[in-house]
Structure 1
Amino acid sequence: MAEETQRSGTSSDRMLSVMDLFTPEQPEWTVEQACVAMGQSESTVYRYFRSLAAVGLIFSIRPGRYLLGPGIIHYERQLRLSDPLIRAAEPAVVKMAAEYAEQGLIFLSRIYRDSVMTTHEHRISAEPFPEGAFGRGRLAPLFRGAPGLALLSFLRCGPFGRSTSGSTQVTPSGLPSSGACGRFAGSATPSVWMIPTRASCTCRFP
């Protein structure tokens, strides 16, 4: 954790790296815990927490303990309404859902940092079923799973082609150990998939 959050760059970069501390496994943090994880002084980390809390990105659930804040939901709604990728894919998603009678899930994925992340999903049934590996907002390995491989197939570049030749070691996260994927972090290349709960069926939306 400390290695992931000790980012080089400006003070603003380091402040934003506080957001990476909050995970489903550890959703609650104190300033003291963040100091240890980030390798920063208490006064510096307190200033980061105060600035993030002021805009609602984190909030104090009780004195000295913080969780992700409601401001994220505010920005998330704006993203859903304005993201050109979601808006462009919506007609195809609705049409696909109408043509498919079985219970399933259609989701829109994109590359986020060094992973694949589902940014939009459409359930084809009112019946609840497990979220699965590609639930909205979850990070999945870029080099494992159909969505990531489909996205990579549309990235015309040398490093990705070489990384699948068998000579490059792959890390536990599914990324080449050479770090060749870093230059593509944040790529907007989209992929829409339909994952039924009874059969193996996928559809990609270029």
Structure 2
Amino acid sequence: MVTDDVGTESSSRHGAMTLDRGLQVLELLAAEDRDFTVAEIASTLGMHRQAVYRLLATLTAHHLAAPAGSGRYSLGLGILRLSRLAHPQLRRAVLPQLRQLAEALGATAQCVVAEGSEAVTLTVVEPSDEIFHLSQRPGARHPLDQGASGLAILAGRASAAGEPAAVAEARSRGYVVTHGQLTPGAIGIAAPLRDRAGRSLDASISVIALRELDIERAGELVVQAAAAATAA
């Protein structure tokens, strides 16, 4: 009886280790906009090449990794499906915070997610008692390096060479402020969204207004909303 328990526990630990290593491979493939050789993956993660081959075979079978030619691998299109499945959960987590922001600031509040080099609007809440306000639609796109919401997503990631100065500033301050970058006369304030471990979700919460805002107060509210969404 004891032997069976020990065997089950050992098998469970082995399975958890394999899963952990597979996730490490996925995170590495997602970390840079390039393809990786098996040797690079093994060297970077401190794994044996044969172990990496086995992990890549499993990930490829589930379309989470894909051969990219010349012995290199990239993320597979199955990642996009997982991302789409996660979006409804993210939408539910941020919606109450967006409602509070829209009413407290009298501004349009939104959650934006990264998709490649673009920022895509996931969900929008408009203020109920403001006659003049910006109207945004889910699915709207703009470059990640333009607009408060996209810059906030970049600020949630690790620093990178050549990134906009506003990104580094946002990491220090906790939120991004832009003036008229995407819409003339509009003010955008955004903060990155992270999981409970502090890792970037490649998403942001933001408000957009066509009138003057108390920037410091609005920034604090946006940061608080992002933290509350993380807790949710």
Please, what TM-score do these two structures have when normalized by structure 1? 0.51
Q: Given the alignment, which residue of 26, 30, 33 partners 2:40? A: 33
> C-alpha separation between the residues in 2 aligned to 1:97 and 1:127?
24
> C-alpha separation between the residues in 2 aligned to 1:127 and 1:46?
37
| 1:9-59 deviation per Cα after TM superposition (whole angstroms, max 9, x unaligned) | 723212210122124644211112111112221111101111111111111
> C-alpha separation between the residues in 2 aligned to 1:78 and 1:97?
31
> C-alpha separation between the residues in 1 aligned to 2:30 and 2:210?
28
DSSP 3-state at the match of 1:185: coil
DSSP 3-state at the match of 2:172: coil
Matches within 5 A, 1:111-190: 124=136, 128=142, 130=146, 132-135=150-153, 138-139=156-157, 144-147=172-175, 185=197
> C-alpha separation between the residues in 1 aligned to 2:82 and 2:20?
19
Q: Compute the displacement of 1:145 (Å).
A: 2.9
> C-alpha separation between the residues in 1 aligned to 2:211 and 2:71?
47
1:48 aligns to what?
Answer: 55
Matches within 5 A, 1:57-136: 57-83=64-90, 84-89=92-97, 99-100=107-108, 106-107=110-111, 124=136, 128=142, 130=146, 132-135=150-153
| 1:139-179 deviation per Cα after TM superposition (whole angstroms, max 9, x unaligned) | 2689733349xxxxxxxxxxxxxxxxxxxxxxxxxxxxxxx
Given that 2:102 and 2:207 are in contact with CA atoms closer than 8 Å, whether structure 1 keeps it comes out as no
> C-alpha separation between the residues in 2 aligned to 1:15 and 1:128?
32
DSSP 3-state at the match of 2:34: coil
Percent identity reads 22
Structure 1, unaligned runs of 5 or more: 1-8, 110-118, 149-183
> C-alpha separation between the residues in 2 aligned to 1:137 and 1:71?
26
Q: Given the alignment, which residue of 172, 184, 194 partners 2:207? A: 194
* AA partner of residue 71 (structure 2): G
2:11 aligns to what?
Answer: none
* AA partner of residue 153 (structure 2): G
DSSP 3-state at the match of 2:23: helix
* AA partner of residue 206 (structure 2): W
> C-alpha separation between the residues in 1 aligned to 2:66 and 2:55?
12
Q: Highest Rg: 1 or 2? A: 2
In terms of mean alpha carbon deviation, does 17-26 or 193-202 score higher?
193-202
Please, what TM-score do these two structures have when normalized by structure 2? 0.46
State the Cα RMSD in Å: 4.5
2:12 aligns to what?
Answer: none
DSSP 3-state at the match of 1:21: helix
Given that 2:156 and 2:171 are in contact with CA atoms closer than 8 Å, whether structure 1 keeps it comes out as no
Given that 1:57 and 1:70 are in contact with CA atoms closer than 8 Å, whether structure 2 keeps it comes out as yes
Instruction: Say if 1:33 and 1:199 are closer, same or farther in 2 by CA, change over 3 A.
Output: farther
> C-alpha separation between the residues in 1 aligned to 2:55 and 2:17?
13
Q: Number of residue pairs matched?
A: 148
Structure 2, unaligned runs of 5 or more: 1-15, 114-120, 125-134, 160-169, 177-195
Q: Given the alignment, which residue of 16, 20, 26 partners 1:19? A: 26
Higher helix share: 2
